[in-house]
Amino acid sequence: MLFLLLAEFIRAFWILFPAYAANCFPTFVRVYGIESHPIDFGKSYKGNRIFGDGKTWEGLTLGVMAGFLVGLAETVLFPSLSLYANQYGVSLPIMNALIAFLIPFGALMGDLIKSFFKRRLGMKRGQNFMFFDQLDFIIGVLLFTFMFVNYTTIMVVWMFIMTFLIHRGASIIGYALKIKREPW
């Protein structure tokens, strides 16, 4: 049982690594003062911004590109890492260029959709939306890749657990380093 849990943890992390890159790189747009343009072009819907100033074309592009490059690196490494993992009874999910693109794109679409709903609830940018702020991008990854990746229940549970912990820790560190405006 312990081996199964560890194997599913490795499989989950393998899929989410490009999503983690996609999720953290848009922050650099603000940190490095890159001119940015809101995805919603500053437009409102029912009295609130559609997405808000925090969702920019530059951040989306940088995030998808960063995640895609990580996914392509996994694609290149897949044959040798897969053989190595198989020796220990772990079968890595297939990674190819399509999946390498869909993972970061799905992650950022999940985040964008969550922002849309936060604005509908009248929540401001940076306002804590417990659990959804940490887990929205996993839902996007799952929705965009479920037809190509054989997810198990244990793998999905690991995705939520590890992401909640990693996202929380990274947010606290980013806040302490003044990279993030809030610690969530």
pLDDT band at 2 (very low <50, low <70, confident <90, very high): confident
> Is the pLDDT confidence value at 111 over 90?
yes
Structural domain span for residue 40? 2-176
What total of structural domains would you count in the chain?
1
CA distances from 171 to 30, 116, 128 (A): 15, 21, 12
Checking if the pLDDT of 30 tops 80, the result is: no
**H/E stretch holding 49:** strand 48-49
168 within domain boundaries: yes
91: left (phi over 0), alpha (psi -120 to 50) or beta: beta
Does some domain include residue 155? Answer: yes
Q: Is residue 63 part of a domain?
A: yes
Quick check: is 184 in a domain?
A: no
CA distance 57 to 69: 18
Q: Cα-flanking dihedrals φ and ψ of residue 49, to 5°?
A: -55, 150
Which is it for the CA torsion 100, 102, 107, 112, positive or negative?
positive
For the segment 70-94, what is each residue's pLDDT rounded down to a tens digit?
999 999 999 999 898 888 889 999 9
Instruction: Give the span between the Cα atoms of 90 and 150, in whole angstroms.
Output: 14
DSSP H or E segment with residue 48: strand 48-49
Residue 79 lies in a domain: yes
Structure token digits, residue 115: 């922002």
For residue 183, is it within any domain?
A: no
Alpha carbon separation from 58 to 34, 64, 119, 183 (Å, rounded): 8, 10, 21, 23
pTM score: 0.88
Alpha helices, DSSP H, located in the chain:
2-24, 27-31, 57-87, 97-120, 132-145, 153-176
Residue 65 has pLDDT above 70, yes or no: yes
For residue 48, the cross-strand partners are 45
Domain presence at residue 182: no
48 domain residue, yes or no: yes
More confident residue, 84 or 104: 104
Neighbour-count burial for 21-56, b at 16+ CB within 10 Å, e otherwise: bbbbbbbbbbeeeeebebbbeeeeeeebbbbbebbb
